[in-house]
Amino acid sequence: MRRKIGQLQWLRYLIFVCGFLLFWEWLRPLDQISDTGNLAIFVVFTAVCFLLSALKLRWWVSFLLKFILMVIVLQVFLIQENLISGSWFTFILTELQNNLQLLFTGEFVSLTPFFRTLLFLILLWLMSYLLYYWFIVVNRIFFFIIMTFIYIGILDTFTLYDGSGAIVRVFLVSFFAMGISTLARLYQGREKRKFPKQVLLWSIPLLSILAVSAAVGYAAPKLPPQWADPVPFIQTMSDNNNENEGEGGIQKVGYGENDSRLGGPFVQDNSIAFWAATEASGYWRVDSKDVYTGKGWERSREAEPQSFQSGDQVGIDLYTENVATEAREAIVYPSQNQVLDRLVYPYGVQTFFSGQVGAAVDADFGVVETFNRAQYPAENYTIAFEEPQYNIDDLRNDSELDDDNTHYRYTQLPEYLPERVRELAEEITSSGNTRYDKAKAVEQYFNQNGFQYQTQDIPVPEDDQDYVDQFLFESKIGYCDNFSSAMVVLLRAADIPARWVKGFTAGQPGTNPSVSTPEGMSSYLVTNGNAHSWVEVYFPETGWVPFEPTQGFANPAEFTSEEDAAQETPEAETDTPEQEEEQSPAPEQPEQQQEEEQVADTETDSASIHPLYWIIPSAVLLIAALALYFTRYKWLTAYYIRKYRNEQSEETYEKAYHYLLRLLAHKGFKRHSGQTLREYAVTIDKEFGNKQMSELTNEYERILYRNEKSVPAWINAVELWENLIKQAAS
């Protein structure tokens, strides 16, 4: 028996290698659909895990090796401390402590890269075990292959990932693996004499059929998809739904002009706003407003755009010369279908370059209007900008002496603003000494205190209600407009000049299908769903500094600080908050990708994040439960052998015998209810080629039908039973 298995074993390993190749296909898209960097290192780690699983080392040896490897990966990429120094341990401990706390309070967004990477590595580790089990132990690979196809298909359809290469690779690998697996099944328990020859006879046709079908499939003309691309369809469906609702106050995500009445739910709109190629990703600014009416935002005066020429300085000065900057360039390719009559620009914009589009700017509000967009809808424009880097220490030490004009204009609040808003502002900001700390305290305030990101069921304030007051004290649910308006109002109530800014988030990384991305730039797709609003706080010596109060979004602006670089920088630099917390093996990537979309789509809402985070652990639990269920005879057998070997109770024989019956039934030798144990034992013995089952059964009959004491019989029979169990289980 063992020898036969040995003969088949190398075939199994071949299948296992195929499994690794398939799993690699799962990892490949990650750098496109998420901002996972250093993919190679994860692939190497996975490969080592697979190898160690295949080597069948003692469990503690392979555990130790994998653990060491994991530490090395983390050390090289994420830990600055020296290995095994005191501070190293402190670092690890505090990281774990903080992140576990975050995990249990549900603030997955704030998890640090270290912890996310750690969880991801553990996930890969577990996957190697799972696939080892699927591919080698039970020789069942079909499920994983199907899952891989579905995964690639979904990514190809719903993201920018191009799966056409992957699908061919997956096809080749999986069909080869299935062919080999069938061979292994066929020859399981057969004579091994002709075996090598059979492998040749098998694999030559297999390989040639594969090669031919792949070549034909690749070369043959392909019909265009018979079904329409589901993405716009799904979007239209949801749009229709919303039109049907037809009530006032529904906001459509996307850039809109009129903000004088905010509130109400909105619909997602995923149509493309523009493509951008940029050297530094960040928010795209479009507009700012200064007057809060209690219902929404308006301007204190009409915008007065001054026309300018391509190459002129536009004069939108958001910061002073005290701020460190870096010269960058970006190109914006507006969508043909989307006629946005505003130009978008990153922080620190200097000049626009464009052939055809004439434009005018109101530098005060930061509005850049185009004149002939309708004429040249697809005209792209290049932006030169100085990417600012705000120094936190400077911000802290900034003077609080605003010029009266600015102070008056940007601390405006409606007269009938409820008093409790002011009290709350007082309470939140009392802890901070500097304007920066106060602003930070307000920004952080929304992360706790029961606020939830949600796009549905957002109330519209009644006539006698204040929009911000309603959000702060009553509904506590909302999206970016709620969060940003509330922050501005709170800051103003605390006598800090602040304003409300609109624009787009950085968008999703992706490859622009029509234009190749210039060297040194990365390409982003910005949809109407990426429309966003945030906050700018005025610092007299620095200028207008962006803040991001909305849950699930991270401020893309760069902040530096000497003192707490370690804490501040990584947080601030994360351009899109990715939540990589523990994810189940299979659904991991789609989920992550989905989150990406949601985050980037402005609509990182707790309504969809929170259920999602329940879904992931429950999916993990479900998979674990299913795995346990499908492997139940494996671990039950091990458990019962261990248990009954030394147990000598009156019922042991009976229980052990019945477990053997169950196991045999599971293996396909079912005793039908009218069959006597003796007859059954004879058929089993014929199957195994010995007399052990009959021996065991005769003993059992004496216990069963003669009421004999079973303990002495069990002592004699335990070895027989163990042999049978092992034969049955193998």
Partner 1 sequence: MTKLSSYHPSVSRIIDNINKVIIGKEEPIVLSLTALLAGGHVLLEDVPGVGKTMLVRSLARSVDCDFKRIQFTPDLLPSDVTGVSIYNPKTLEFEFRPGPILGNIVLADEINRTSPKTQSALLEAMEEKNITVEGNAMPLADPFFVMATQNPVDYEGTYSLPEAQLDRFLLKLRMGYPNAQEEMQMLDAVGMKHPINRVEPVMTKADLLKMQEEAANVYVAPQIQQYIVDLAQISRSHPDVYLGLSPRGSIAMMRAAKAYAYIHNRDYVIPDDVQVLAPFVLGHRILLRSEARYDGLTPERLVQRLLEAVDVPVERESVHER
Contact residues for partner 1, defined by CB under 8 A: 651, 654, 658, 661, 672-679, 698, 701-707
In the complex, least distance from residue 652 CB atom to partner 1, rounded to whole angstroms: 12
Residue 674 C-beta: closest distance to partner 1, Å: 4
Question: What type of residue sits at position 307?
Answer: S
Please identify, using beta-carbon distances, which residue of 240 and 683 lies nearer to partner 1: 683
The residue length of the chain stands at 730
Nearer to partner 1, 193 or 672 (CB): 672
> Cβ 729 to partner 1, closest distance in Å?
21
CB of 693 to partner 1, least distance (A): 14
Smallest gap from residue 39 Cβ to partner 1 (A): 57
Q: Quick one: DSSP state of residue 537?
A: E
Residue bearing tokens 């739904």 = 241
- For partner 1, which is the closer residue by CB, 352 or 714? 714
Q: How far is the CB of 647 from partner 1 (least distance, A)?
A: 15
CA–CA gap between residue 473 and residue 449 (Å, rounded): 10
Q: How far is the CB of 718 from partner 1 (least distance, A)?
A: 19
| Minimum gap (Å) between residue 673 Cβ and partner 1 | 4
Q: How far is the CB of 681 from partner 1 (least distance, A)?
A: 11
Task: Measure the CA angle with vertex 687, ends 686 and 693; round to 5°.
Answer: 70
Are 352 and 313 in contact by the 8 Å Cβ rule? The answer is: no
Contacts of range 557-562, beta carbons closer than 8 Å, 24 or more positions apart: 557/282, 557/283, 557/347, 557/388, 557/390, 558/387, 558/388, 558/389, 558/390, 559/389, 559/390, 559/391, 559/392, 560/324, 560/389, 560/390, 560/391, 560/392, 561/391, 561/392, 561/393, 562/393
- Separation of alpha carbons 374 and 140, rounded Å: 58
Identity of the residue, 105 or 676, whose beta carbon is nearer to partner 1 in the bound complex: 676
In the bound state with partner 1, the residue whose beta carbon lies nearer, of 594 and 698, is: 698
CB 297 within 8 A of CB 485: yes
**In this structure, how many other beta carbons lie within 10 angstroms of the beta carbon of residue 357?**
19
- Cβ proximity to partner 1: between 304 and 679 the closer is 679
Exposure on the CB side of residue 176, measured as CA atoms within 13 A? 24
Q: Which is nearer to partner 1, 384 or 704 (CB)?
A: 704
Cα–Cα dist 538/536, whole Å: 7
What is the rounded radius of gyration, in angstroms, for the C-alpha atoms of the chain? Answer: 33
Could you give the CA distance from residue 429 to residue 437 in angstroms, rounded to a whole number?
Answer: 8
CB 671 to partner 1: min, Å: 8
Shorter beta-carbon distance to partner 1: residue 147 or 682: 682
Nearer CB in complex with partner 1: 678/726: 678
CB of 547 or CB of 714, closer to partner 1 = 714
Burial class (CB in 10 A: 0-12, 13-18, 19+), 577: buried
The Cα 337–Cα 709 span in angstroms is 87
Q: How crowded is the C-beta side of 590, counted as CA atoms within 13 Å?
A: 20
d(CA 640, CA 663): 11
Residue 664 tokens, joined: 């045999």
